[in-house]
Structure 1
Amino acid sequence: METSKIFTTLLSLVVLFAAIWFSRDDGYSVLPNKLQQVLHAMLEVEQQYHVGEVQIAVGYGACKDIFVQGSLLMGAMTPPQRTAHFSRIDSIEQLKEMYALFYTAGSAAERYVGNETLFSETLAAAEAVPGSYSTLGGNAPVMASRFASEGAKVLLAAKRTPYIMQKINSNIIVGGVETEGADDIHLILEYKAGESWGTYQAPRANRFIMHSDDSNPTLSTVEYFGEQLTAFKPHLFVVGGLQMMDNFPFAPGVREERLIAVRDQIVSLPVTTRVHFEMASFTDTDLLTGLIQHVIPYADSLGMNEQELPNLYSMVKYGNVSLVSDFNPRVAVVLDQMREVFQLLRETEEKGGKRHLTRLHLHTLAYQAIMVLKDSPWKNTLAASIKAALTANRHVCGNTEISIDNARMLMDDGFTLSEAEGAGRVLFDNHRPVSCWTEDDGKVEVCIAPVLICTQVRQTAGGGDNISAAGLILQI
């Protein structure tokens, strides 16, 4: 009896001590929550950095995005018997087969629809789905909005349509022609991890985008924008939206002329203005070849996701396109690809306006990786990788406050630095979750930051643009 009382008393004391300890507001406990520690450490760093008075120009184009749950739109259709890839969509069967291909891979994709009737009918069906909604879209406006929300002064190359002017952030100057014309429309099919469509299942949340643009592929704002760009004197010029040219039916030679116009716009800027090119889902080998010839050699910085890096790597090294890749690649794999791309593109001879690549940003579901040349103007690599990682959660969850109840991590307890034999290994530290180091005799700095992946997905589209912009804003 006495022993029972002593045990009960001791148990009560243990419970009381645990309650007091776990209620502490410093974010730690006897059995600390790993996510809580990681978030606390990253927020501490982010809060130390603030955006100065920077001016950023962003091109090209804008559109109206229509969002719909892919399961509700495609669920009304019979799943295809097979998956297949097409450079463009011209029939309902091609749409189903290609959607199934990227859906099962968990990879983002964006494709031009050559059949206008098919696009119009699919769009009408999507707008009739409960919960569908529209927002201002396009790589350039999304990145511009992120820059503006972080405190930068922004000039955007886009047509001044009534819809765009109504939706755009008031801190953004829209440097395009005034028009009453219709907006280009993009249809975005979002899906969640674990969703099923017949026998097909999505391994992660992502999106499939369709468009039938008339204006954006021709980069119709380039010339008019150039008149304002010089007077604006940006610290950074961001080039995006060029994937709209992918598989668009240009007359012979016209697409190359438009790429040369972009090149000339970059070359017109002083070398002190840094240039960032945001990659996208390209499938047209001729377009990628044109980008490697006319745009990429003129950029100081490149941004891309886990699908776009191997695509660029494959084009630079082998001259062919990589269509689908691992949705959650190992750190060692991407670091090796980044090193090779970084090295090959740094060999560009600086003449005729060409620049050496000095920054490479890879954003994946699980982590952010930023590689910079140490003696370049890019600064705050650690803070930039953290800002990008936190922005990934905030955008996808649609909330500025990050909740560990709606987050998870995919990063392991450590990662190897390369697939090469004898490569070193970095162990994960909850209190210092971002790993930075130098390599190539101290000439190159690399930072890897874990992403607290949002488990309550609101929107994946625009994620890469927000993430890239957030990383850039602290490095200018």
Structure 2
Amino acid sequence: MIVKSLLVLLLSVGIGYVLYKNRLITNNEIEQEILSSWSESIVMPKNQFRKLLVGINSNVDLIVPGVELLLKLNITPGNDINHHQLFSLDHLQETFSYFFKKGSAAERPFIDAELFRKIVSGAENLSNPQFYIGGNAALIGSKIAEKFPDVELHLVGPVGPKLMELLPASIVIPKISHIEKDEVHLIMEYQVGESWGSHRAPVATRFITSYDESNSQATMIESFFQYIENYKPDLIILSGLHLLEGQSSEFFSQKLSFIQSELIKIPKAVPVHLELASMVNKAFVKEIADNLVSKVSSLGLNEQELTFLSHAANGPHSSYFETIQGQPEIHIISDIILWILKTFGFSQSDPSRKLTRVHFHCLTYHIIGIHPSAWNNNPSAVGAGTRGAGIQACDVESPDPDLVTLKFPEKFQLFSGDKERSLNESEPIMTWKKEGFHFALSPVLVCKQPLKTVGLGDSISATGLMFSEYVSDFNS
């Protein structure tokens, strides 16, 4: 009776307490402890990247509430079907519903140019349309320019008048990047718990569609590689290959063959990071895995991209992409990262393979796996990426424990067969070794009321890269 009265008293005076690991703590004590640990443990590398080349996809993002736009277009809830390409308003509704129900970010090309323009017109006439920098390359470049002002950064990608206004003035846009009219991508966002028909969104994320000739045909790819010789960057970041998915298999293979031949020419002392994005064509993804992944130094991807890559290339847990919902299991993700590093990564037996780093990011945690001879400062890199995720999603200047929450599993395995363990919030960055590779994991403090989800993965990858140190002569 005394205990019951005490609990009632605590609630009545508004003091929020929760039970965590058999002890009473204040509501944001865990979050504050993690933030404090990050502040103490995250450090910049001794040798930082100073001269970057980023390409090749860039555009203007038109961001609107997804459900509101569908209602504006007189589209009502219906079936949920995953279409690889969108030819009609029905395709838009069905594919949006499919990923809305799963709570997974996705991107699909629109095939009908006139219909897409009508959809964009409807989006522009909503109450509060927002225009932002879009495209993985432009987003990565703008994040680095914003957070690391001493870095010299050149962007090769299609840049129209509106995008030129939006990009940071410090980014160098060569003349080869200029186009007369901006490419527009439509970002249909939704919030956690939002309803669409009988579905309720399990997380806050977005669905993206576009009709984009410049990026979908990779028109800047030749200029991008030509630019390397004169500019001589110390880090190259490549993205946008997913937009080729709307093209024929012959066109796709031709572009990949060109990219492969150009990547081989780049000295191993200059790391190349490849940022992947959502794709559904198994043959195309397998072609990327077989022909490109081993030719880059670093790979960035989320749970959908990682699990589908394993499916397409006959990796471990190859059917997991079909059943994954919400937070992916840590040991499964670690298994796949290890497989990627072993299958496509540098080894003494095959020094022609360049891959030495994989950066995985999802809503609730990140993992970076590395070849220890090629990269330093890995724990700081994963910690900086997770810390930045909450800051950007909440759209604030610095971490705020009241705005974020820990959604990390109470019990987990670091890899299959490992003992079960729990998170120590005073040491949130976990490290381990497996078969000669080093891994670092950190939980994300998830924003309770996210204001900006677009570009989150790109921001995470950019931050992780800038906190990483590449050992340029590791295999010499």
Q: Show the counterpart of 2:225.
A: 226
> Shift of residue 160 of structure 1?
4.4
Q: Show the counterpart of 1:59.
A: 55
SS of equivalent to 2:202:
coil
Q: Show the counterpart of 1:372.
A: 370
Q: Which runs of 5+ in 1 are unaligned?
A: 1-14, 16-28
Residues 74-112 of structure 1, C-alpha deviations (whole Å, 9 max, x = no match): 244443332111110011111111100000000011001
1:390 aligns with 2:390: no
Q: Show the counterpart of 2:421.
A: 426
**1:401 and 1:287 mapped to 2: Cα distance?**
40
> Shift of residue 247 of structure 1?
2.1
Q: Show the counterpart of 1:11.
A: none
Structure 1 letter corresponding to 2:408: M
SS of equivalent to 1:246:
helix
1:461 aligns with 2:460: no
> Shift of residue 272 of structure 1?
0.3
Structure 2 letter corresponding to 1:449: S
Q: Mark the CA change 1:317 to 1:444 in structure 2 (over 3 Å): closer, same or farther.
A: same
Structure 2 letter corresponding to 1:460: T
**1:94 and 1:324 mapped to 2: Cα distance?**
22
**1:444 and 1:59 mapped to 2: Cα distance?**
29
Seq. identity, %:
25
> Shift of residue 52 of structure 1?
3.3
**1:178 and 1:147 mapped to 2: Cα distance?**
19
Structure 2 letter corresponding to 1:39: L
Q: Which runs of 5+ in 2 are unaligned?
A: 1-9, 11-23, 470-476
Contact 1:113 1:119 in 2 (8 A): yes
> Shift of residue 118 of structure 1?
2.0
> Shift of residue 324 of structure 1?
6.9
Structure 1 letter corresponding to 2:273: H
Structure 2 letter corresponding to 1:306: E
SS of equivalent to 2:326:
coil
**1:97 and 1:470 mapped to 2: Cα distance?**
35
> Shift of residue 53 of structure 1?
5.2
**2:468 and 2:43 mapped to 1: Cα distance?**
15
> Shift of residue 347 of structure 1?
6.9
**1:312 and 1:473 mapped to 2: Cα distance?**
25
Contact 1:160 1:177 in 2 (8 A): no
Contact 1:328 1:365 in 2 (8 A): yes
1:140 aligns with 2:137: yes
Matches within 5 A, 1:239-254: 239-248=238-247, 250=248, 253-254=250-251
> Shift of residue 226 of structure 1?
2.9
Q: Mark the CA change 1:437 to 1:102 in structure 2 (over 3 Å): closer, same or farther.
A: same
Structure 2 letter corresponding to 1:325: I
**2:54 and 2:46 mapped to 1: Cα distance?**
21
Structure 2 letter corresponding to 1:462: G
Q: Mark the CA change 1:323 to 1:187 in structure 2 (over 3 Å): closer, same or farther.
A: farther
Residues 116-165 of structure 1, C-alpha deviations (whole Å, 9 max, x = no match): 22211111111111111111210001011122223222121113432233
> Shift of residue 284 of structure 1?
1.7
1:325 aligns with 2:314: no
Q: Show the counterpart of 1:3.
A: none
> Shift of residue 444 of structure 1?
1.2
**2:158 and 2:397 mapped to 1: Cα distance?**
30
Structure 1 letter corresponding to 2:353: R
Q: Mark the CA change 1:419 to 1:293 in structure 2 (over 3 Å): closer, same or farther.
A: closer
Contact 1:406 1:456 in 2 (8 A): yes
Q: Mark the CA change 1:53 to 1:59 in structure 2 (over 3 Å): closer, same or farther.
A: closer
> Shift of residue 339 of structure 1?
1.8
> Aligned to 2:434, which of 416, 439, 457?
439
Select the structure of larger CA radius of gyration: 1
Query: Larger deviation: 30-39 or 331-340?
Result: 30-39
1:361 aligns with 2:359: yes
Matches within 5 A, 1:43-442: 43-46=39-42, 52=48, 54-76=50-72, 77-151=74-148, 152-177=151-176, 179-248=178-247, 250=248, 253-317=250-314, 322=321, 325-346=324-345, 354-376=352-374, 378-420=375-417, 423-440=418-435
Q: CA RMSD in A?
A: 2.5
Contact 1:307 1:326 in 2 (8 A): no
**1:380 and 1:109 mapped to 2: Cα distance?**
31
Residues 15-35 of structure 1, C-alpha deviations (whole Å, 9 max, x = no match): 9xxxxxxxxxxxxx9868111
Q: Mark the CA change 1:267 to 1:33 in structure 2 (over 3 Å): closer, same or farther.
A: same
SS of equivalent to 2:313:
helix
Structure 2 letter corresponding to 1:410: K
Q: Mark the CA change 1:176 to 1:208 in structure 2 (over 3 Å): closer, same or farther.
A: farther
TM-score under structure 2 length normalisation: 0.87
1:36 aligns with 2:32: yes
Query: Larger deviation: 363-372 or 164-173?
Result: 164-173
Contact 2:45 2:376 in 1 (8 A): no
Residues 216-240 of structure 1, C-alpha deviations (whole Å, 9 max, x = no match): 1221112223332112222221110
**2:360 and 2:183 mapped to 1: Cα distance?**
28
Q: Show the counterpart of 1:471.
A: 464
SS of equivalent to 2:81:
coil
> Shift of residue 289 of structure 1?
2.9
**2:329 and 2:385 mapped to 1: Cα distance?**
19
Residues 249-301 of structure 1, C-alpha deviations (whole Å, 9 max, x = no match): x4x63322222222233222211001111111011223213312332121111
Contact 2:155 2:174 in 1 (8 A): yes
> Shift of residue 384 of structure 1?
0.3
**1:268 and 1:41 mapped to 2: Cα distance?**
42
**1:99 and 1:211 mapped to 2: Cα distance?**
13
> Shift of residue 428 of structure 1?
1.4
Structure 1 letter corresponding to 2:190: Y
Query: Larger deviation: 101-110 or 118-127?
Result: 118-127
**2:158 and 2:79 mapped to 1: Cα distance?**
40
